[in-house]
Amino acid sequence: MSEFHPKSNRPPPPERSPVVASSGPVCAVCGVPRDPRKRETCSDKCRAELSRRDALRAWDREIRILLATALQKLDEGAR
């Protein structure tokens, strides 16, 4: 059985593990430590991957907007 605090009649809070902080900046793509002078990535390869991801996000956003517009036009035409 767990012990209860005598005044509040509630069990004590659970123990928490210590917070682990990074010793420095890490690469946004691969997660390895990077030179603090570099912006987001550790290498040219990771920078290219980040650029591809950004382009893909922009493409997805554009497609979503086009699909939403098409659905709206279809809905208006069905009335």
Residue 5 has pLDDT above 80, yes or no: no
pLDDT tens per residue, range 47-70: 999 999 999 999 999 999 999 999
Q: Residue range 9-31: average pLDDT? A: 78
* Whole-number Å distance between alpha carbons of 32 and 41: 9
pTM score: 0.57
